[in-house]
Structure formats: structure tokens, C-alpha cells
């Protein structure tokens, strides 16, 4: 899930090509404008997605960000009927303003805020209609689609990254519970393969202390 309205690319090749187009030139420290222009000309779907993303600037913090699936899943009932669904976690609070001067300010602000009380996001399911794109994460669904309030996610605490919590988990989007299936979006298989490679690399590396230590964040 990401705090974006759409994903910038609709294929693994497009994602790969965009990374190279955005690579900084050593002489300037900035991407080559010609390379990026050529990429966008070859990938109009990314040009349209980036224009939409620019209309939704990031919020000041994590606590007031919406996090969306972007890709389409299918909810499958006992009769085998498949319903396309996208979802979002919608914040129920403002974020504590981050302090300036540190690269981990957003994390530190979240830690300080959760010490004062639980943080909540509503899980909103958006139900697709016939003709809505299910295999292209760069395309938004119309805003008038039916939504279902599926409950509230409540965070009551935060822990330093370590073995036993999020550190050693492979967040594979194809590991799904019964009743939820992936769409035909090609990004699913690409993400699954990339996350598996990342997990193998991480588990084989020496474990260094996390950059954010919860007990060291000052009030």
C-alpha cells in the first residue's frame, strides 16, 4: 500500500525504464531531462499518472496519510462470484508536525504522537464496476464507485524493528487469505519475485541496529 492516488507504472519494464531515466547524471547531480522526456514519450501512462500524483501532494506526516492498495484484488464469495475491489486506509486524525533537522523526523513524530494515544484509520473498500481497469495500477477508478466501510485499524503502540516483528517478513502481495485473489495486473508477479529476492538478501546480511530506536525518541 502507498500514499499515492495511483502507481506511476503499469508494468515491471516501465518501472525499470523509469528508474534509469531518473538516474542522476554525475556532472549535474540531476536526471537527464532528455532521457526523462524520451521515457515519458514512450510511456504516456506514466506521464498521466505522474500528473495525477502531483495533484495530491504528500500530507505533513504518516498519521494523516491515506494508504491505498492501488492494484486491484478480487473478493470471491462461496458461489465463486468474483468482485473487483481496491481499498484504502483513511486517517482519522491529524499528524503531529515533524521537527526539522533530522532525516527520521516523520518516524519520530509518529512515535511521539502514538505515545499520547491510539491512532486510527478506517478501512474503505471501493467496489469496481464493469469496465473499470483491473490490470493497470496507473488508472484510477471513477470517484462515484460504491464504497464499503469495513472497520477501523487502531494502532496502540510502536516497536523498534527487530526479529519477531516486521523486520524478517516478506510482504508478498500474492500471499492472500481464502476469499481474496489477485487480478491479472502484471505488477503482482513482478513484486512477488522482487520481494522474495529482497528478503533473501536481507536475511543473509549482517544485522545492523535500526536507524529509528523507539526508546531513544525524545518527547
pLDDT, tens digit, for every residue of 136-164? 999 999 999 999 999 999 999 999 988 87
Domain ranges of the chain: 1-57, 59-216
Residues of the chain with pLDDT under 70: none
127, 145 contact by CB (below 8 A)? yes
Kindly compute the dihedral angle of the four CA atoms of residues 13, 17, 19, 25, in this order, to the nearest 10 degrees. Answer: 160
| Amino acid 197: pLDDT | 94
- Measured at the alpha carbon of residue 183, what is the angle toward residues 84 and 63, in degrees to the nearest 5? 70
Residues 6+ apart with CB under 8 A from 43: 9, 14, 17, 18
| Predicted confidence (pLDDT) per residue in 84-107, tens digit | 999 999 999 999 999 887 899 999
Residue labelled with grid coordinates 525504464: 17
User: What is the number of helices (H) and of strands (E) in the chain?
Assistant: 5, 6
Helices (H), the chain: 12-21, 33-42, 44-54, 105-114, 187-203
Q: Which CATH class is domain 59-216?
A: mainly beta
SS3 186: coil
Copy the grid coordinates of residue 71: 492494484
Amino acid at each position: 500500500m502507498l500514499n499515492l492516488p495511483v502507481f506511476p507504472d503499469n508494468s515491471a519494464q516501465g518501472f525499470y525504464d523509469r528508474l534509469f531515466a531518473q538516474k542522476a547524471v554525475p556532472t549535474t547531480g540531476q536526471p537527464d531531462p532528455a532521457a526523462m522526456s524520451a521515457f515519458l514519450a514512450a510511456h504516456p501512462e506514466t506521464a498521466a499518472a505522474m500528473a495525477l500524483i502531483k495533484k495530491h501532494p504528500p500530507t505533513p506526516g504518516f498519521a494523516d496519510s491515506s494508504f491505498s492498495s492501488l492494484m486491484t484484488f478480487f473478493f470471491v464469495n462461496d458461489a465463486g462470484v468474483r468482485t473487483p475491489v481496491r481499498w484504502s486506509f483513511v486517517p482519522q486524525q491529524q499528524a503531529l508536525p515533524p521537527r526539522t533537522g533530522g532525516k527520521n523526523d516523520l518516524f519520530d513524530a509518529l512515535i511521539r504522537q502514538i505515545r499520547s494515544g491510539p491512532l486510527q484509520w478506517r478501512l474503505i473498500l471501493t467496489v469496481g464496476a464493469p469496465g473499470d481497469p483491473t490490470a493497470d495500477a496507473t488508472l484510477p477508478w471513477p470517484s462515484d464507485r460504491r464504497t464499503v466501510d469495513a472497520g477501523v485499524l487502531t494502532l496502540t503502540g510502536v516497536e523498534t524493528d527487530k526479529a519477531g516483528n516486521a523486520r524478517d517478513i516478506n510482504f508478498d502481495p500474492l500471499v492472500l487469505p481464502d476469499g481474496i485473489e489477485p487480478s491479472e495486473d502484471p505488477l503482482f508477479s513482478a513484486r512477488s519475485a522482487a520481494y522474495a529476492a529482497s528478503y533473501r538478501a536481507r536475511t543473509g546480511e549482517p544485522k545492523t541496529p535500526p536507524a529509528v530506536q523507539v526508546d531513544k525518541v525524545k518527547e
